[in-house]
Amino acid sequence: MIGFRLDEEYEVLRKRVEDFARTAVAPAIGDLYKRDEFPYTLVAEMGRMGLFGLPFEREYGGGGRDFLALCVALEELARVDTSVAITLSAGVSLGAMPIHRFGTPEQKERWMPGLCSGEALSAFGLTEPGGGTDIAALTTTAVRDGGAWVINGAKSFITNSGTDITRLVTVTAVTGVRADGRQEASTIVVPAGTPGLEVAPKYSKAGWNSSDTRGLAFTDVRVPAGNLLGREGRGLSQFLSVLDESRIAISAVGAGVAQGCVDESVRHAEERAAFGRSIGANQAIQFKIADMEVRAQSARLAYYHAVTRMLRGEPFGREASIAKLVSSGAAMDNARDATQIFGGYGCLNDYPVARFYRDAKVLEVGEGTSEVQRMLIARGLGLPAAA
């Protein structure tokens, strides 16, 4: 019989992260968000809690847990704030995971302990100024020069790429051309501070204001040949596999935002009075909140299903896209309804729902737009590629 109740070990983790989010994140994040300030103190505490190492081996300082544990933590953080959640999501599923999946023993020994402890962050250098989804059109290049790679190009919208604790960027670059004329890409580790690596100022963003997002430029950046991550020419397939997993993680973030909107709306509906009674006594408000709860539950079940298939070793790409599409839509719809329930207060950044509204839209764009998810779902059903 199928059950969707978390086992005790996950429930203990969930309650621990819930308490941290309510007692540490909630009181601090409003001011950080207004100042576009990265939450270093909160990230350090998350590191001490072991959140950055949850799905990694204990030999590298990890928690020896699995990807579901990470998703449970992400959902609880996102119920309070998206910036903190996305910092963890990108730091683990996009930053550390490529090193974990494809690194040599030496690369893992060098980088994984710091990434697992949260004392260091790694960034995922894929998206470029000229395109994100069209990853076959990469323009960043890496050329062998003796015992080194020389990298030239630019990346855009790179999370965790310019913090004081960023230690490396894994860069996907063109390293050759195949016999059929298609580009061959590889993944190369570029340590922070490498000469020729320019980190742009932070973007001025509409949402995720307390997360770090920047552009990167590479001008004759030289790194040792041993910084190749995995096999030469396998960069795109490596990152596509990482993206499938990461879409589940960001789906957990979306589910958290959707549930956070429900939490705030129920609280406000009970406290806010109009025309002599609480607004929660109005059927129009009740129906709106009921629909919000349905969306939040659906988003959670969608990512539970995807991560369960992943952990069983079953194909999960289509399910990851479904979870991403459902959860980002739920977050956006719930944020819109929550703002309406809050009225004028919902337009003030002092209230979480205002931040949720700004943050939710990014979930429909980042790590594959909703349109891309629909395309992938259609292909997963066997339909031909659209013209």
> 105-129: b or e for each residue (b if 16 or more CB lie within 10 Å)?
eebbebbbbbbbbbbbbbbbbbbbe
For residue 101, give the nearest of 240, 238, 237 by alpha carbon: 238
Residue 306 tokens read as 């995807």
Could you give the CA distance from residue 56 to residue 342 in angstroms, rounded to a whole number? 41
Identified catalytic residue from 184, 264, 367, 371 = 367
DSSP 58: G
Could you give the CA distance from residue 82 to residue 361 in angstroms, rounded to a whole number? 11
Provide the pairing of β-strand 228-229 with 273-274: unpaired
- The total number of residues shown for the chain amounts to 387
HSE toward the beta carbon, residue 179, CA cutoff 13 A = 0
Q: Which residues contact 154 (CB under 8 A, 6 or more apart)?
A: 128, 129, 139, 140, 215, 216, 217, 218
Could you give the CA distance from residue 273 to residue 382 in angstroms, rounded to a whole number? 53
The total of other beta-carbon atoms located within 10 Å of residue 136's CB is 10
The total of other beta-carbon atoms located within 10 Å of residue 309's CB is 17
Q: Does residue 367 carry a catalytic annotation?
A: yes
Catalytic residues: 367
